[in-house]
Amino acid sequence: MDEIGKGFDALMQKIEKLHGNEKELTGKLKENDAKLLKKMAASSVSVVKIVGLNMLKMGKQDTKGEIYDPMYYPQKMIILGKAEQPAAFRPDKPGLAVTDQFCVLSEDGDFFELMYSFDGFLTDSYLNPLDAKKALELYGYDIMFMLYRAMKDYLEGEEKLVDSLEMVIGYVFARKP
């Protein structure tokens, strides 16, 4: 029984040591989370240029809610998160309330808050620049996960495309007329 007790004590010491290492590493990660997000964004630029969307800058809305005469931002963007509670007003036009607010990553590798306002006729927006640290403060780690997930989904799609092309090319060139 004494040997079992010693073994159990040794096991508990290892668990305590691991918990200490876990806390230390978690603290180190939290200290550098903005650096990691910034690096992820820079690495994702080429993919954002391909899969990003041209986001609405301004447009008029008809009685059915359809947008006409739309204007779009020139750079493509991917949406990483949506604010649960949009800001009360836009920084560029304090008289306009924000109806929707998103965290986006542009094809230049920059983070923005895309703030939309609607006055009953015109949907208007403002791109509020954010640094990685502020983006994490406002939107949490979800944006880091969404960026990771977007890149993972893109990779899987590209792998399937390449596999399909290889199969077709193999079939075409293996066949002799």
User: Is pLDDT of 79 > 80?
Assistant: yes
Sheet holding 77-82, edge to edge: 67-72, 56-61, 122-130, 111-118, 100-106, 77-82
With bands split at pLDDT 50, 70 and 90, how would you rate the model's confidence at 119? confident
Single-letter residue type at 135? A
Per-residue pLDDT, averaged over 4-19, amounts to 81
The pTM of the full predicted model, rounded to 2 decimals, is 0.78
Identity of the amino acid at 88: A
Q: Give pLDDT tens digits for 135-150.
A: 999 999 999 999 999 9
What pLDDT, on a 0 to 100 scale, did the predictor assign at position 59? Answer: 92
How is the chain split into domains, by residue range? 32-174
Structure-model confidence comparison of residues 41 and 8, the more confident one: 41
pLDDT score at 176: 53
* 175 pLDDT tier (thresholds 50, 70, 90): low
> Residue 1 pLDDT more than 70?
no
Using DSSP's 3-state secondary structure scheme, residue 118 falls into strand
Taking residue 126's Cβ as centre, other Cβ atoms within 10 Å add up to 19
